[in-house]
């Protein structure tokens, strides 16, 4: 009988780990610097892990890092997968299921996004309170594994309220500006037109990006509490729109990264 790839991958990783990770962190575009804060780090490239695809995006390094962050055993994904890379939704979300098999109890996600809300500025952080899924697919389509989660998982609170409250409290104590809003996920890889930005704002989105939602859907399916923070890397005012490049997005993400790192590191001790 064929071995389930996730079980094979979990077995492969467990043989190399000193301890089971408790918290998983997915690092978005230009936000890989948090990995430097992980102590006793063990770095494993994606291509060595059974069943994992590889990141094709220039700014995503493509490795899992295991170790301690502020005393907590963690696994950090330095580089995620996107639908626009040509991967299926199941391939995009495979790491989330794998990390749950490794013993992870909570998931923290970060991403780079464009601001639709006129009150947001480049370099700001936004805590995701809800999302709008405009991706052309769903990672739960197909046969359901009843041992992992229900056929029709509830999404009334996709982002764990306790984790979100903790992040807000930590932000307040450390005087970190942390907006709270709604993330719209689109397929990309092109950025949006002026008309599309207007549409996204009309339907209630505060920011727009090309990731996060598939992972959050799967986390909810398998009972893994999660929270997510966006770094605002560009502003999307359709009446004053300027071209933006990946280099500019990465540059802004890099300037905001120390603040995001502080927020996540300080939160770790209380999760």
What lies within 8 Å, CB to CB, of 172 at 6+ separation is none
Residue-by-residue DSSP string for 70-119: TTEEEEEEES---GGGT--HHHHHHHHHHHHHTT--EEEEEEEEEE-STT
State the Cα–Cα distance between residues 41 and 67, nearest whole angstrom: 5
Query: pLDDT band at 1, cuts 50/70/90?
Result: very low
Report which of 26, 24, 65, 23 is spatially closest to residue 229, judged by C-alpha positions.
Answer: 26
How many domains does the chain divide into?
A: 1
User: CB 113: neighbour CB atoms within 10 A?
Assistant: 31
What lies within 8 Å, CB to CB, of 192 at 6+ separation is 114, 186, 200, 208, 236
Question: Residue 47: which CATH number?
Answer: 3.40.50.1580
What range defines the domain where residue 228 resides?
5-268
Q: pTM of the entire structure?
A: 0.94
How long, in residues, is the chain?
271
Contact 257, 29 (CB under 8 A): no
Q: In this predicted model, which residue has the larger pLDDT, 245 or 265? A: 265
Calculate helix-pair angle for 5-14, 89-101, nearest 10 degrees: 50
How confident is the model over 38-42, as a mean pLDDT?
93
- Check pLDDT > 60 for residue 59: no
How confident is the model over 148-171, as a mean pLDDT?
97
Query: pLDDT band at 194, cuts 50/70/90?
Result: very high
Task: Please give the pLDDT value at position 145.
Answer: 87
Task: Please give the pLDDT value at position 58.
Answer: 59
Query: pLDDT band at 57, cuts 50/70/90?
Result: low
């Amino acid at each position: 009988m064929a071995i389930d790839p996730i079980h094979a991958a979990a077995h492969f990783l467990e043989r190399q780990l000193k301890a089971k990770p408790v918290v998983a962190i997915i690092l978005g575009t230009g936000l890989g610097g948090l990995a430097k804060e992980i102590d006793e780090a063990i770095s494993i490239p994606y291509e060595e892990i059974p069943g994992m695809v590889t990141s094709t995006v220039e700014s995503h390094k493509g490795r899992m890092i295991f170790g301690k962050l502020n005393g907590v055993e963690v696994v950090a994904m330095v580089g995620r997968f996107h639908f626009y890379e040509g991967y299926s939704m199941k391939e995009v979300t495979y790491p989330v299921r794998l990390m749950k098999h490794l013993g992870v109890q909570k998931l923290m996600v970060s991403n780079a996004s464009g601001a639709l809300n006129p009150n947001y500025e480049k370099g700001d952080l936004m805590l995701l309170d809800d999302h709008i899924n405009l991706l052309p697919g769903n990672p739960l389509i197909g046969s359901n594994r009843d041992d992992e989660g229900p056929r029709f998982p509830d999404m009334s609170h996709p982002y764990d309220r306790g984790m979100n409250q903790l992040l807000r409290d930590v932000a307040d104590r450390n005087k970190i500006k942390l907006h709270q809003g709604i993330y719209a996920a689109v397929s990309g890889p092109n950025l949006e037109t002026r008309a599309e930005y207007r549409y996204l704002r009309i339907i209630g989105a505060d920011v727009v990006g090309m990731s996060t939602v598939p992972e959050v859907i799967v986390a909810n399916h398998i009972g893994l509490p999660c929270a997510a923070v966006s770094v605002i890397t560009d502003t999307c005012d359709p009446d004053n729109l300027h071209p933006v490049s990946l280099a500019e997005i990465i540059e802004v993400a890099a300037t905001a990264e120390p603040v995001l790192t502080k927020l996540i590191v300080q939160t770790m001790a209380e999760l």
